Amino acid sequence: MAAALRLLLPCLLAQVWLAPGTAPARPQAPAVQNETLQVVRAPEEEEEEPWPPAGGQQLSEQTSDLGFSLLRKISMRHDGNVVFSPFGLSLALAALMLGASGQTRAQLEGVLSAHSPSQAGPGHLPALFRRLRQHLSRNQELGLTQGSLAFVQEDFDVKGTFLNLSQSYFDTQCVAVDFRNASQARTLVNRHVNRETQGQVPGLLDEVNPDTKVMLVDYVLLRGKWLTPFDPAFTEDDTFHLDKYRTVKVPMMYSEGNFASTFDQRLRCHVLQLPYRGRASMLVVLTERMSDHLALEDYLSAELVGTWLSSMKTRHMEVLFPKFKLDQKYEMHELLKQMRVTRLFSPWAHLGELSAISRNLKVSRVLQRAVIEVDEEGTEAAAGTLSEIVAYSMPPVIKVNRPFHFLIYEEASRVALFLGRVVNPTLL
């Protein structure tokens, strides 16, 4: 099996709550139940140009910084293994932003962009994300698949403009469903998601709220192949140190060749670049002292990563890296609330661009599931202070045998596709 971050699946659920005395939504049944809905033709896309366009670099940096902020929030809840996709979550929030207005939209834009709404038009961010998606999809060697599904209650009045823009910017497939039949709706959603994610997520939903009106699902699937694969003949069980006192045995992969790396003297950590085909890489960050890996997270930022990359030196070395698989699921709405994205989940949410009954519409959950498996062939997937960086000759052997962080990014855009922490490679 290819070593790859198999899948990250962010899922947004929007539920309508009708206030006392409010009339039900006007029926607008689709032509064919439980099949893809037809929407009006999307506007023509802008001409392709090399990445990054104006604002593209800021978008990538903001996406990465959103990921680092969420990692710190997750660490406040537990200190175990972590994996999620900043890119996938940003796509999901940008898709939902198409239906938002007022303060709700402003809060979403605040976590997705360094610019205020007054500095760019309402379609600026979605257009940038579309350009980024197009840039990534043209890289066939990268093995990245991204898509969007909108499950709509069959008699719920969704604005055609919202469906049109969702299709235009995110290629969203709209599927009619009857959420009032919760069991049937769960089966339908899980079947569609399982098909689109090539079987990597066979059962995303355990239950469905019958009051749900719209469910947005954005998925990212990465099947990355190492530029220089590890030779399985050299993989052997070896010791991985969980802390000072506990160890586990893990399959440790081995490779010898030219690798780019640097050493951060201030943070006392090694940074190793493991390249994929298709101009993408995994950055592995390994602190010198085992107990420092959590403290390192306070300093992580897009600016710091950029400094590491600019100081990389390529040298011949031996690398030992553990095989591992992680499967994590997060309630991102609770973490987003801590980042002042609150209107979206409250009765005061402004979702007038999604439906005419927006005053009764709110997002109830933002779920994200990520699975990463790393082996000899590759990776398959469903802090503002600058550190002092100096030239440093890493030892001829670097052995990743203690807790470490990883960042998978595409090199031209430097967007954070996946981010994680491995504390125990033997646990999901």
pLDDT in tens, 234-247: 999 999 999 989 99
The CA distance from 11 to 118, in Å, is 29
Mean pLDDT for the chain overall: 81
Q: 267 with 415, same domain?
A: yes
Phi, psi of 238 (to 5 degrees): -145, 175
Residue 65: exposure state from Cβ atoms within 10 A (0-12, 13-18, ≥19): buried
Considering the domain architecture, whether residues 340 and 410 belong to the same structural domain is answered as no
Q: What CATH code is carried by the domain that includes residue 398?
A: 2.30.39.10
Q: 209-236: b or e for each residue (b if 16 or more CB lie within 10 Å)?
A: eeebbbbbbbbbbbbbbbbebbeeeebe
Pairing of strands 313-322, 269-276: unpaired
Q: Are 93 and 158 in contact (CB under 8 A)?
A: no
* Within-domain flag for 427: no
Let me know whether 189 and 91 are in one domain: yes
At 179, which CATH number? 3.30.497.10
Alpha helices in 257-324 (DSSP H): 302-310
pLDDT tens-digit profile of 392-420?
A: 445 578 899 999 999 999 999 999 999 99
- For the cut 90, the answer to whether the pLDDT of residue 69 exceeds it is yes
Same domain, yes or no, for 338 and 307? no
**Cα–Cα distance, 128 to 170 (Å, whole number):** 11
CB atoms near residue 181 (< 10 Å): 13
- Considering the domain boundaries, does residue 428 fall inside one? no
175 and 267 housed in the same domain: no
Task: Judge if 126 and 262 occupy the same domain.
Answer: no
49 — pLDDT class (breaks 50, 70, 90): low
Say what the pLDDT of residue 252 is: 95
Predicted model pTM: 0.85
**Which runs of E-coded beta strand occur in 39-198?**
82-84, 144-153, 173-177
> Do 317 and 357 reside in the same domain of the chain?
no
The amino acid at residue 274 is: L
Looking at the structure, tell me whether residues 42 and 104 fall in a common domain: yes
Range of the domain at 271: 232-323+383-422
Does residue 282 lie in a domain region?
A: yes
Q: Tell whether 111 and 244 lie within a shared domain.
A: no
What total of structural domains would you count in the chain? Answer: 2
> Are both 218 and 100 inside the same structural domain?
yes
For residue 26, is pLDDT > 90? Answer: no
319 shares a domain with 338: no
pLDDT at 41 over 90: no
- Residues 174, 299 share a domain: no
Assigned domain for 38 exists: yes
330 secondary structure, DSSP code: E
Per-residue pLDDT of 133-172, as tens digits, reads 999 988 889 888 888 888 888 888 888 898 899 999 999 8
